[in-house]
Amino acid sequence: MKQPKLNHKAQNLLHSIAIFEAIKGVSALAACVGLLSLAHHDLKAMAYALIGHFHLEPEAHYPQMLIDQAMWLENANLRQIVLLACLYASIRMIEGYGLWKDKAWAEWLAACSGGIYLPLEMMHLLEHTTWINAFVMLFNLGVVMYMVWRLWERRKAA
């Protein structure tokens, strides 16, 4: 499918989305490295030490969440988590590259992968209504709608 030449604003928007997707991929890789660095450590003890360092009450909501997550990570299959995170990172970085190069397959990938999250984000927004959650959902919806519009324009041009 041949796409008409992008104007400067449309190209900047596409490049911004590409950079954002690549940043999500790099962030996932950084999380993988962080998770791997925690392997073979007593995460529960580390969580309690961190809570103590900041003089927080371990029974309070957020410190308890940290302890719960540390215990969950100790019992989780770290290889599986890292493998899935690396797969996610790869998809995001490939998508970013394709969007930067103005490829139709990347627009399909962005529209589909972004669309998958919309129902989950809507449910999360309904359960936890905050401005941040609303912004995330609307931003993702905007990206999906833009990608669908770009694909529609490609189809019209073909």
CA neighbours closer than 13 Å in the CB half-sphere of residue 82: 13
Number of domains in the chain: 1
Name the average pLDDT for the chain: 91
Asked, for residue 100, whether it belongs to a domain, the answer is yes
Asked, for residue 2, whether it belongs to a domain, the answer is no
Structural domain harbouring 90: 8-157
Q: What angle do CA 133, 35, 130 make, to 5 degrees?
A: 10
25: CB partners within 8 A, 6+ apart? 88, 89, 90, 91, 92, 93, 95, 96
Alpha-carbon torsion (110, 26, 128, 76), positive or negative: positive
Asked, for residue 29, whether it belongs to a domain, the answer is yes
Q: Give the pLDDT of the chain (158 residues) as one tens digit per residue.
A: 455 567 888 889 999 999 999 999 999 999 989 888 888 888 899 999 999 999 999 999 999 999 999 898 888 888 898 899 999 999 999 999 999 999 999 999 999 999 999 999 999 999 999 999 999 999 999 999 999 999 999 999 88
For residues 39 and 58, the answer to whether their CB atoms sit within 8 Å is no
- CA 62 to chain centroid: 22
Asked, for residue 3, whether it belongs to a domain, the answer is no
20-56 per-position pLDDT tens digit: 999 999 999 999 898 888 888 888 999 999 999 999 9
